[in-house]
Structure 1
Amino acid sequence: MTLYAYLSVDPDGKKIRGKMDAANLMELELRLKRMDLDLIDFKEKTEKNFSFGRVKISRKDLINFCFHMEQMTSAGVPILEGLTDLHDSTENRNFRGIVADLIENIEGGSPLSEAMARYPKIFSKTFTSLITTGEQTGKISDVFKSLGESLKWQDELTAQTKKIIMYPIFVGAIVTGVTFFLMIYLVPQLTGFIKNMGQELPMHTKLLIFVSGLFINYWYIALTAPVLIWVFGIMLLKRSPAARYMADGYKLRIWLIGPVLHKIILSRFVTFFALMYESGITILDCIRLSEDIVSNEVIAQGLRRAGVLISEGQSVTGAFQSIGIFPPLVISMLKIGEATGSLDIALRNVSYFYNRDIKEMIEKVQAMIEPVMTVVLGLLLGWIMMSVMGPIYDTISKMKT
């Protein structure tokens, strides 16, 4: 966004000066015109780095966008007028600039879907494909409504997933801090006293002294190594498809977390597949667009194989059963949906069952993670206490005898 200092004139001929953020000069003129002001002169004051490809747009912005456009289009308001009203009411300056660019492109003759396609990082292929279908069928209002509901579901799912992640991270940070304190400050003081007793130390005490020495002498490595490994891993995953495939496969096998993640991915897939199929998108296009939705190379590769089998004449049920990544529930529902001609309804039923199972599994996993982390912290403290107090107790026992 750019900050403009402008000079304008109102209908009475009075000159008005002011400052306003706008994506470009056209948006500045458009915004002033809505205020019944005519632009006379302007000057760019501050240019902020505003790259549409890297703009951070929250899911809440997209939900509001879909809800607003669904309400406008269902009331018979033209898309251009609906976008203009949204532009004036949007609080997010970045998203307001994008809406302004959508307005500009539509005024230039482009359909809404084509204008959205210029921002693939914000409006996914699935999003723009559904908008295209809505434009072609005249059901754009229904498409906006379905997209809004799907985005709300994703938002709720994300909030539930964070419940699993945040507690282990919080407890893990505490355990790490306690470990550093014990190994660098407390243990050296105690082990110095133990060594002065002059007796043979047990193996677990020697191990504690060795680990404490590593922390004292190489603490900077202990702090920087995880960060470097994380950065290296991210770079490797970006550059190597084989590494992404292995990592995504491992994610699905992680104890406790893997089954929940698998169901979340499949629930997201069947939800959007049903939405696209209901909107009139062909099955092969639904599968192709779903590859981006699942965000997992293992499942995406399976979908690609299913697409090939379907294009060769195999049934949808047979193709999905052959790739082996979908559980019997999905296969059964697909078979019923194909037989009755209501594939979208069958998939929505699958999504309903998955959503219920995901909530229950998240609650169970969260309930299991808390005691596991407590046990880890207890074992760490127990090892230190046994390694330190054990030799002291043995010395005191010998003195009594």
Structure 2
Amino acid sequence: MADFEYTARNGQGAALTGRLEASSAQAAAEQLQARGLIPVMVRAARPNAAESLNLWLARLGSRSVSTESLMLFSRQMNTLLRSGVPIIRALRGMQDSASDKRLGETLGEVRQSLESGRELAAALARHPRVFSPFYVAMVRIGEVTGRLDAIFDRLFVHLEFDKFMVDQVKAALRYPSFVLGVMAAALVVVNIWVVPAFAQIFAGMGAELPLLTRFLLGVSRFMIEGWYLLLAGAIGGYLGFRVWSGLPRGRLVWDRFKLRLPVMGKIILKATLARFARSFALAVKSGVPIVQALGVVAATVDNAYIGQRIEGMRDGLERGESMLKGAIGTQVFTPVVLQMIAVGEESGALDELLDEIGGLYQREVEYELKTLASQIEPILVVALGIMMLIMALGIFMPIWDLGRLALKGGG
């Protein structure tokens, strides 16, 4: 079961809003109709700040499993269900043979939930660290349509695509991360051992030091004497950022900022849109209505800002607008993609063309990742050069001044 927000009208035409619990948006709409209300809008409920914080804390303490283990689980479920094996029996077998201990424990708890009368989707939803909202939503669709085996097969393909994208990003960021790590280590070494040695020399000069030199000496002194403050600040800043970015407003601001990052912003945008296109195509192929599919995918694209724009598309469809108009309003799709959406709406093959859009974005992301190192390298070189220039000027300017004074005195 899940919570849904709704807007409906009563017999007098007055608008009513609220929340209710149901297995799907369609079931929520049926509940409203049974009460004599006319559903206007039904969508998955958005968590408030307190709920988001509680969810984040729950995920922090809950178990997680690797994508490979979840892919294997999806493939095994597809095979067993297609062979006619009951779900509880299938889960018991996978629990006993699971190579991932955490997944085996989770499947045991899922099986117990099923034996107590819960639906499979509801049982999976109790483990948000393992099964994403999109995964749970697709399983719920499979239960409603009776195509659970096909859903698990498509989820396997979806997870395989996600893993490929993550692996590509990690591989592309390995070199820049190494360079940044070396720069940070060099900065620490210089401030702790090199600058203090020069500080002793400068102290014997008895002359006023340049502003840049005084700044470097102050930074070095603070790192040596106030290292515990730096450490506490770093830990506190990290924890504070994690909590802030886990709240709805904070995550929205942070996800929007990520899209504006130089070099990486366009890669994140294309990777997110590739995931959206593939997920949306999967949902539509599985028989989910377009409006409901947009609502499910908007909550699972892993970017709150893009999710907000997709929700705008869904709201436009509910008002009778075309999907093309909604996509144009998001201002995130390229002209080529907009043209494909227009053709998909006209031909009735929107799911197939969106799948092609996902492939198009995937190829663009692959190309961007292959050239990522060459794009970031000039930025790293410039940053390293500026850092070395500041260090050199701050350390050697007093020595140069002392040399000029000595030459004048000798003259």
Counterpart of 2:290 in structure 1 is 283
Counterpart of 1:224 in structure 2 is 232
Query: Per-residue displacement from partner, 1:376-400 (whole Å, max 9, x unpaired)?
Result: 3343234323333344345446448
Deviation at 1:156, TM superposition (A): 1.4
Deviation at 1:206, TM superposition (A): 3.4
Pairing partner for 1:318 from 309, 322, 325: 325
Using structure 1 for the length normalisation, give the TM-score. 0.78
Pairing partner for 1:66 from 36, 54, 74: 74
Cα distance between partner residues in 1 of 2:80 and 2:170? 34
Q: Is residue 249 of structure 1 aligned with residue 256 of structure 2?
A: yes
Counterpart of 2:189 in structure 1 is 181
SS of the counterpart of 2:136? helix
Q: Is residue 89 of structure 1 aligned with residue 88 of structure 2?
A: no
Deviation at 1:182, TM superposition (A): 1.3
Pairing partner for 1:261 from 262, 268, 273: 268
Counterpart of 2:135 in structure 1 is 127
Deviation at 1:65, TM superposition (A): 0.4
Relative contact order (alpha carbons < 8 A, sep ≥ 6): 1 or 2 greater? 2
Deviation at 1:147, TM superposition (A): 0.5
Q: Which moved more, 1:129-138 or 1:143-152?
A: 129-138
Using structure 2 for the length normalisation, give the TM-score. 0.76
Q: Is residue 56 of structure 1 aligned with residue 64 of structure 2?
A: yes
Amino acid aligned to 1:179: L
Counterpart of 1:340 in structure 2 is 347
Counterpart of 2:9 in structure 1 is none
Change (3 A) 1:314 1:195: same
Deviation at 1:342, TM superposition (A): 0.7
Counterpart of 2:162 in structure 1 is 154
Change (3 A) 1:279 1:200: same
Amino acid aligned to 1:308: D
Counterpart of 2:334 in structure 1 is 327
Contact 2:172 2:373 in 1 (8 A): yes
Cα distance between partner residues in 2 of 1:72 and 1:123? 19
Cα distance between partner residues in 2 of 1:151 and 1:295? 14
Cα distance between partner residues in 2 of 1:192 and 1:319? 66
Deviation at 1:70, TM superposition (A): 1.8
Cα distance between partner residues in 2 of 1:360 and 1:376? 25
Counterpart of 2:360 in structure 1 is 353
Aligned Cα root-mean-square deviation (Å): 2.8
SS of the counterpart of 1:253? coil
Query: Per-residue displacement from partner, 1:81-137 (whole Å, max 9, x unpaired)?
Result: 433332221122232123233334445555433433343443233223322333444
Cα distance between partner residues in 2 of 1:223 and 1:171? 22
Cα distance between partner residues in 2 of 1:99 and 1:297? 30
Deviation at 1:274, TM superposition (A): 0.3
SS of the counterpart of 2:131? coil
Counterpart of 2:52 in structure 1 is none
SS of the counterpart of 1:293? coil
User: Aligned runs of 1:136-215 on 2, under 5 Å?
Assistant: 136-198=144-206, 201-215=209-223
Contact 1:67 1:148 in 2 (8 A): yes
Deviation at 1:214, TM superposition (A): 3.2
Cα distance between partner residues in 1 of 2:160 and 2:339? 27
Deviation at 1:324, TM superposition (A): 2.2
Change (3 A) 1:194 1:120: closer
Query: Per-residue displacement from partner, 1:118-175 (whole Å, max 9, x unpaired)?
Result: 4344323322332233344443332211110110111111112223444444433332
Q: Which moved more, 1:301-310 or 1:195-204?
A: 195-204
Query: Per-residue displacement from partner, 1:15-43 (whole Å, max 9, x unpaired)?
Result: xxxxxxxxxxxxxxxxxxxxxxxxxxxxx
Higher-Rg structure is: 1
Cα distance between partner residues in 2 of 1:195 and 1:53? 53
User: Aligned runs of 1:362-377 on 2, under 5 Å?
Assistant: 362-377=369-384
Contact 2:291 2:317 in 1 (8 A): yes
Cα distance between partner residues in 2 of 1:52 and 1:116? 17
Cα distance between partner residues in 2 of 1:310 and 1:269? 17
Amino acid aligned to 1:360: Y
Contact 1:163 1:366 in 2 (8 A): no
Figure out how many residues of one structure are paired with residues of the other and give that number.
Answer: 351
Change (3 A) 1:183 1:256: same
Query: Per-residue displacement from partner, 1:331-358 (whole Å, max 9, x unpaired)?
Result: 2221111111111110011010111111
SS of the counterpart of 1:294? coil
Contact 2:64 2:129 in 1 (8 A): no
Contact 2:270 2:361 in 1 (8 A): yes
SS of the counterpart of 2:333? coil
Q: Is residue 236 of structure 1 aligned with residue 244 of structure 2?
A: yes
Cα distance between partner residues in 1 of 2:64 and 2:138? 22
